[in-house]
């Protein structure tokens, strides 16, 4: 009788152990994790914002006043094409650009460069270009927005041919919505009109006559 009781007790204890051990182990694990020292991550949430602020200052110090105000107010910069022989068809130009029609680029942060004809607002191409950090081949943070625009501006004004040949050329609309570009060209025209009015007033012309968006249809 006693032997049977002892055996039954042992079986019951073994079953209870089997049932309760996983829950107990999990509880212990949680307690350990709760008490464990969590390593502090070196994350500075303001770093990117400060980097962008510095980038804006640098951009402002490099481009001219009109380009800076354009970027500040509209979010992009227009750069006039300057290839002496014109933009040929191999590089995305048209018959018009080969014959010397002025062409220009819109520089957006972290978007392709958009080439267009200011006189007709015809979109020519998108030139996709990146500025990757080659010292970190497995991927890295990208340039701040304003640095990306400045890098495009420097590469384009410094060596337009090399940048255009480096970039991957695509038809308009692949990444930048053509409707958006046309709207931006309209915004640019209005912005230039207002800017010219302000300048005319500042120079003593009280009427600030509407002289039209000359800047958008004529090369500098």
Residues that bind another protein (CB under 8 A): 47-48, 50-52, 54-55, 57-58, 61-64, 67, 112, 128-136, 140-144, 147, 150-151, 153-155, 157-159, 162-163, 166-168, 220
Q: Is 104 helix (H, G, I), strand (E, B) or coil?
A: strand
The residue (of 34 and 137) whose beta carbon lies closer to another protein is: 137
> What is the nearest approach in angstroms of another protein to the Cβ of residue 89?
19
Sheet arrangement for strand 113-117? 77-80, 104-107, 113-117
The residue (of 3 and 41) whose beta carbon lies closer to another protein is: 41
The residue (of 96 and 157) whose beta carbon lies closer to another protein is: 157
Classify strands 77-80 and 104-107 as parallel, antiparallel or unpaired.
Answer: antiparallel
> What is the nearest approach in angstroms of another protein to the Cβ of residue 121?
23
> What is the nearest approach in angstroms of another protein to the Cβ of residue 150?
7
The residue (of 38 and 106) whose beta carbon lies closer to another protein is: 106
Which residue(s) pair with 216 in the sheet? none
> What is the nearest approach in angstroms of another protein to the Cβ of residue 173?
15
> What is the nearest approach in angstroms of another protein to the Cβ of residue 129?
5
Please state, in angstroms and rounded to a whole number, the distance separating the CA atoms of residues 1 and 7.
10
The residue (of 86 and 112) whose beta carbon lies closer to another protein is: 112
CB 216 within 8 A of CB 187: no
- DSSP 8-state code for residue 115: E
Q: Is 158 helix (H, G, I), strand (E, B) or coil?
A: helix
How buried is residue 28: exposed, middle or buried, by Cβ count under 10 Å (0-12/13-18/19+)?
Answer: exposed
């Amino acid at each position: 009788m006693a032997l049977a009781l002892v055996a039954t007790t042992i079986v019951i204890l073994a079953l209870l152990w089997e049932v309760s051990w996983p829950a107990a182990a999990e509880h212990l694990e949680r307690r350990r994790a709760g008490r464990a020292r969590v390593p502090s991550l070196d994350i500075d949430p303001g770093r990117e914002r400060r980097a962008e602020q510095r980038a804006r200052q640098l951009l402002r110090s490099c481009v001219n006043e009109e380009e800076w105000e354009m970027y500040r107010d509209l979010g992009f910069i227009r750069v006039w094409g300057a290839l002496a022989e014109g933009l040929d068809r191999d590089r995305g130009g048209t018959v018009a650009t080969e014959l010397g029609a002025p062409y220009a680029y819109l520089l957006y942060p972290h978007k392709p460069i958009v080439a267009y004809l200011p006189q007709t607002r015809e979109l020519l191409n998108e030139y996709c270009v990146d500025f990757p950090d080659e010292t970190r081949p497995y991927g890295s943070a990208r340039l701040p927005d304003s640095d990306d625009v400045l890098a495009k501006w420097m590469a384009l004004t410094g060596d337009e041919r090399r940048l255009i040949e480096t970039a991957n050329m695509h038809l308009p609309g692949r990444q930048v919505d053509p409707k958006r570009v046309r709207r931006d060209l309209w915004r640019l025209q209005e912005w230039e009109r207002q800017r010219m009015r302000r300048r005319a007033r500042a120079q003593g012309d009280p009427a600030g006559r509407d002289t039209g968006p000359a800047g958008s249809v004529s090369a500098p």
